[in-house]
Chain A
Amino acid sequence: MDMIDYPDGEQFSPGHVACAGCAEALSLRVILNTIGPDAIGVVPPSCTAVICGGYPLSSVSIPVQHTTLENAAASASGIKRSLNAMGKPDTTVVCLAGDGGTYDIGLQALSSAAERNEDILYVCFDNEGYMNTGGQKSSSTPLNAITGSTPAGKLSRKKNLVEILAAHRIPYIATCSPAHLSDMSAKIKKAESIRGTKVIIVIIPCLPGWGVADDAAVKTARMAVDSGVFPLYEVEDGVDYTMTINTRNQAVNAYLKQQKRFRHLSDADISDIQADVDWGWEYLLDRAGK
Chain B
Amino acid sequence: MKGENNIRLLSGNHAVSWGVKLARPQVAPLYPITPQTPILEKLTEFHSRGELDAELLTPESEHSAMSACVAASLTGARVFTATSSQGLLLMHELLHYASGARAPIVMFNVNRTPGSPWAFWPDQIDSLSQRDTGWIKMYSESPQESLDTVIQAFRISEKLSLPLMISHDAFYVSHAVEPVALPQQEQVDSFLPAYKPELRLDTSLGQSFGAPIDQATWNRSRRETAAAMARVENEVLETGKAWGELTGRSYAALEHYRTEGAGVVIVTMGSMCGTVRDAVDALREQGSAVGLLKVRQFRPLPVQTLRNSLAGIPCALVLDRNYSPGMGGILHQELKSALFAMDDAPRVHGFLTGVGGVNVASMKIQQLVTEYADAEPSVDSVWVE
Interface residue ranges, A against B (CB under 8 Å): 45, 49, 55, 66, 68-70, 103-105, 107, 130, 132-134, 136-137, 139, 148-152
Contacts and interface: CB of A to CB of B under 8 A. Distances in A.
A136 B48 contact: no
B189 interface: no
Contacts of B41: 134, 136, 148-149
Given A68-B86, A149-B41, A151-B45, A139 B115 contact: no
B305 to A, nearest CB: 39
Q: Is chain B's interface secondary structure helix, strand, loop, or mixed overall?
A: loop
Interface stretch (B32-40, B142-150, B212-220): B32-40
B30 A69 contact: no
A148 B86 contact: no
Contact of B37 (A55, A133, A151, A152): A133
B308 interface: no
Contacts of A134: 32, 34, 37, 41
Q: Is chain A's interface secondary structure helix, strand, loop, or mixed overall?
A: loop
Interface string B212-254: 0000000000000000000000000000000000000000000
B127 interface: no
Given A103-B60, A133-B32, A151-B44, 12 more contacts: A49-B118, A105-B60, A105-B61, A107-B60, A130-B32, A133-B34, A133-B37, A136-B40, A139-B60, A149-B32, A149-B41, A149-B58
B60 A66 contact: no
Interface string B81-101: 000001000100000000000
B117 interface: yes
Contact of B33 (A103, A133, A139, A150): A133
8 contacts: A68-B115, A70-B61, A104-B60, A105-B31, A105-B61, A149-B30, A150-B44, A151-B45
B60 A136 contact: no
B46 to A, nearest CB: 10
A66 to B, nearest CB: 6
Contacts of A69: 86
Contact of A152 (B40, B48, B115, B118): B48
Interface residues of B, number: 20
Nearest 4 interchain pairs by C-beta = A104-B60, A105-B61, A151-B48, A152-B48
Nearest to A138: B60
B337 interface: no
A108 to B, nearest CB: 9
Contacts of A152: 48
B116 interface: yes
A61 B118 CA distance: 19
Nearest to B49: A151
A149 B86 contact: no
Interface in B89-132: 90, 115-118
A51 to B, nearest CB: 13
Interface string B142-170: 00000000000000000000000000000
Contacts of A45: 86, 118
Contacts of B117: 55, 66
Contacts of A133: 32-34, 37
Given A105-B61, A136-B40, A151-B48, A66 B116 contact: yes
Nearest to B59: A104
A148 B32 CA distance: 10
Contacts of A103: 60
B119 to A, nearest CB: 9
Contact of A148 (B33, B44, B116): B44
A231 to B, nearest CB: 25
A143 B90 CA distance: 28
A220 B59 CA distance: 28
A132 B35 CA distance: 11
B60 A149 contact: no
A104 B61 contact: yes
Contacts of A149: 30, 32, 40-41, 44, 58
A240 to B, nearest CB: 29
Interface-centre pick from A49, A136, A149 (highest chain B CB count, 10 A): A149
A165 to B, nearest CB: 16
Contacts of A68: 86, 115
Interface string B50-74: 0000000010110000000000000
A151 B118 CA distance: 29
A55 B44 CA distance: 34
B81 to A, nearest CB: 13
Contact of B90 (A70, A130, A139): A70
A150 B48 CA distance: 8
Nearest to B61: A105
